[in-house]
């Protein structure tokens, strides 16, 4: 990938906002901040246009909850084509976290995440999507 340099004209307030954003997010320069903002916009656009995206579904739950593990597993089997991998972590004696890596159409990943998060006994869940290409 080649780097192209270009000039940008901004109102003073926008430049200050960019500098604040770069500082708050620990970017070393404006170029990194602008790259990050453009990339975020690209991901959001792919998500909204139901393009192919990759992501993760993070779930926190009490693994002793009756039928929870069975329900999680059954639902994941229904979505095998989009699930790349899953990792189970033991946070405390009864509290677990599962991270499921996914890749597919944005609407299918959102549907899967919504169904997983809605399972009785899930304390917290979140879908994070990124670009797949």
**CATH number for 98:** 3.30.70.1150
Q: Is the pTM of this model over 0.85?
A: no
Whole-number pLDDT of residue 63: 86
User: Does residue 115 sit in the same domain as residue 73?
Assistant: yes
User: Does residue 59 sit in the same domain as residue 24?
Assistant: no
User: Does residue 123 sit in the same domain as residue 69?
Assistant: yes
Whole-number pLDDT of residue 44: 82
User: Does residue 71 sit in the same domain as residue 115?
Assistant: yes
User: Does residue 59 sit in the same domain as residue 121?
Assistant: yes
Position with higher pLDDT, 41 vs 126: 126
Cβ pair 6, 95 in contact under 8 A: no
> In terms of C-beta density within 10 A (0-12 exposed, 13-18 middle, 19 or more buried), how is residue 55 classed?
buried
In a domain, 1, yes or no: no
Domain around 103: 52-131
User: Does residue 44 sit in the same domain as residue 60?
Assistant: no
Q: What span, in angstroms and rounded, lies between the C-alpha atoms of 25 and 58? A: 23
In a domain, 26, yes or no: yes
Cβ pair 86, 77 in contact under 8 A: no
Number of domains in the chain: 2
In a domain, 76, yes or no: yes
Whole-number pLDDT of residue 132: 83
In a domain, 121, yes or no: yes
Q: Smallest Cα–Cα separation from 52: which of 124, 108, 116, 98?
A: 108
User: Does residue 81 sit in the same domain as residue 16?
Assistant: no
In a domain, 27, yes or no: yes
pLDDT band at 64 (very low <50, low <70, confident <90, very high): confident
Contacts with 43 (C-beta within 8 Å, 6 or more apart), sequence order: 53, 129, 130, 131
Cβ-count burial 64-85 (b if 16+ within 10 Å, e if not): eeeebbebbeeebeebeebbee
Selection from 4-8, 30-34, 36-40, 111-115 with the highest mean pLDDT = 111-115
């Amino acid at each position: 990938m080649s780097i192209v340099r270009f000039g940008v004209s901004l109102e003073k307030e926008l430049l200050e906002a960019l500098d604040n954003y770069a500082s708050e997010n620990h970017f070393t320069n404006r170029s990194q901040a602008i790259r990050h903002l453009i990339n975020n916009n690209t991901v959001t656009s792919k998500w909204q246009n139901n393009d192919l995206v990759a992501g993760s579904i993070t779930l926190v739950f009490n693994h002793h909850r009756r039928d929870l593990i069975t329900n999680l597993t059954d639902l994941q089997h229904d979505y095998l084509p989009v699930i790349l991998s899953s990792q189970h972590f033991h946070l405390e004696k009864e509290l677990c976290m599962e991270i499921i890596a996914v890749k597919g159409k944005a609407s299918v990943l959102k549907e899967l995440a919504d169904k997983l998060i809605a399972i009785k006994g899930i304390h917290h869940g979140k879908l994070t999507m990124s670009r797949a290409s």
